[in-house]
Structure 1
Amino acid sequence: MSEEDNRGFDNLIPLCERHAYEIDATPQHYPADLLRSWKRMQIEAHARAVGLALNDAEVAELSEASFNTDDLIERLTAVMPFSARSRSRAEALALAARSSRARSVVRLRSTPADRVEAALAWNTQQADPVVEVPTGALRVLVAPMGAGKSEEAERWWNEGLTQAWTDPQVAIPVWLEARDVVTTLAGAVQDALGGDPEKACRIVVDNLDG
């Protein structure tokens, strides 16, 4: 592919730096068809957003309507671009599993390519997390860089994901990078889940020093 084609509109998709790096680091988890579907969704969402301007009659109707929270969410969801609220549980579980593997691969970026799969397999065998966090409690892992804080957090998080796969009453765990929490932690969790967690939910905030 020429540099011009590589930088052309048909081959570009807007992404944040972290997710762009994950896709480049683990291309096998993000096939071209998936990325093309994301691009189509972005283009369609932009087209819908451009057409969301209200005329005078619609403004008058809106001003007379009395919304409760559920009504408002339902009406906004119908016209706004995709959000976590519209993702099914099966889709959310699959996305969480892919994201977990991608994080592990990114952490192994200094490992020789021919050893990555072996390192991932070894990690999987270390299934039982050393970290224990009682329900309703908080744990802060403090150790030098490279000591394995993120790996321990990932094992604890994956334990929660395994429970969520087998029990629909268990909330899908949330993994956040500290820089993703741009307003409040509660707001970031709500954005990730599409609302407040209805049951106990494991939440990891990683890279606090970043």
Structure 2
Amino acid sequence: MSDAAAAERLDEVRRRIDKAARLSGRSPGEVTLVAISKTHPAEAVAPLIRAGQRHFGENKVQEAAAKWPGLRAAHDGIVLHLVGSLQSNKAEEAVALFDVIHTVDRPSLVAALAKAIARHGRQPDCFVQVNIGDEPQKGGCAVAALPALLAQCRDVGLPIVGLMAIPPAGLEPAPYFALLAELARRHDLAQLSIGMSGDFETAVTLGATHVRVGTALFGERS
């Protein structure tokens, strides 16, 4: 992807975020665009960085560890988000590498992250992932299990800033986004990680503070 194409795609996505925010009475500055760079090599990511994008999301600890040290050395201000499921035995590496973790979803991971944070002295912001559509194949804690998981996070001092969810594919996402927003309000959490390339405008109108956009920025994967 050329620098010009990257800048054009980034401007278009930001324009759509701004429009959705203003239509819903929000400030566009309330919404963080996370460019989902998973599976894309460093040379595909660099044009977006040069265009001004600074928040990037990766699915796997190993891939991020291979890709981002060089990019971070070359560019200031990168904020790295883990948006894929995290194994408890990778918690140490995740805490060392990522600035935000979107997929806290079970007691064993909470315990592992708390130990890693204490050991490293780094405190990435964390979102609890909720399985908002009750889908057995998806990560995320069940809605009914959310209060207990949040209580555990508080007990061990895990810095939970909000909730994350991926609505069921093929269904209207708005009711699921609205339910997650209500759960966040109920538990006094200010941030919502919702919305991807196909539905981020809907997510913004329903309170998203972080939208996770890949295809609209990088194009379809081959």
TM-score by length of 1: 0.25
Structure with greater helix percent: 1
Structure with greater strand percent: 2
